[in-house]
Every structure is written in C-alpha cells, then in structure tokens.
Structure 1
Amino acid sequence: MHTSRFWIVGGEYASMAFDRLIEGTQRVLGPFGERGAAEEAWRRLSEENRSQCLMRFTIAAERT
C-alpha cells in the first residue's frame, strides 16, 4: 500500500513569471502525514506573506 507525505515548498521569486526563486528565500515545511494538515499550514504561511506579491508556496505530495 502506498502512503503519501506532504510538503510545503516555495519562497520569494525574482519576477512575476515565478520561474526563479531568490537565493536564500527558499522554504520547505513538512513532512505532513495528512493533506488537511498541510493545507492548514499552507494557508497560515500564505496569509503571513500576503502583502508580498512575489512570495508563493505550494503543496507537493510524495508517495512512499
């Protein structure tokens, strides 16, 4: 049986193209055992950085 772990990854990007992170701003949070817990953390992190238009975070799933 496969299980999943969830990670929040992101940081501050160099432009609105969101194709290159600014060195040193990378953030990785996790692992989270349930997607719901990752979503709660993602919402909190996104809200904390809401005023910074070049900050972006996403949830990535890892199958183990």
Structure 2
Amino acid sequence: MQKSRFWVVGGEYTSCDCEQLVQGTERVVGPFDSRTDAERTWRTLSEDHRPQAQVRFTIAQEPPAVTA
C-alpha cells in the first residue's frame, strides 16, 4: 500500500512576491495522514495571519512511501 503524508509550510516573506522567507519565521506543521487534516490546519493558520499580506502557507505532499 502506498501512503503519502502532508505538511503545512510557510511563514513571513520579504515581499508580496513570496520568494524568500524572513529568517526565523519559517513554520512547518505536520505530518498529516490526510489532505483534509492538512487543509484544516492550513485554513486556520491562513485566517490567523490574514491581516499580514506577506505571510503565506501552503500544503506540501511527500512522495508516496510503500508501507507494509
């Protein structure tokens, strides 16, 4: 069986182009066994930082791993 894990990653960026994170603001939350759980956390983090235009979060998916 192949199983993937999900992570919520992001932080504050140096500009609204979201190309470079401000050092020390990086956040990695997870792992989550389902995308639904990751989306729930992503939504909460995004809403908490909504007034901050340069803070962004996204969902990253690990490549599937074969588990026994």
Aligned length: 64
Matched with 1:43 is 43
Matched with 1:61 is 61
What is the distance in 1 between the residues matched to 2:9 and 2:53? 16
What is the distance in 2 between the residues matched to 1:14 and 1:22? 6
Highest CA radius of gyration, 1 or 2?
Answer: 2
Structure 1 residues without counterparts, runs of 5 or longer: none
Structure 2 residues without counterparts, runs of 5 or longer: none
User: Per the alignment, in what secondary structure is the counterpart of residue 45 of structure 1?
Assistant: helix
Question: Structure 2 length normalisation: TM-score?
Answer: 0.90
What is the distance in 2 between the residues matched to 1:28 and 1:44? 14
What is the distance in 2 between the residues matched to 1:15 and 1:61? 25
Identity %: 55
User: Per the alignment, in what secondary structure is the counterpart of residue 58 of structure 2?
Assistant: strand
Question: Structure 1 length normalisation: TM-score?
Answer: 0.96
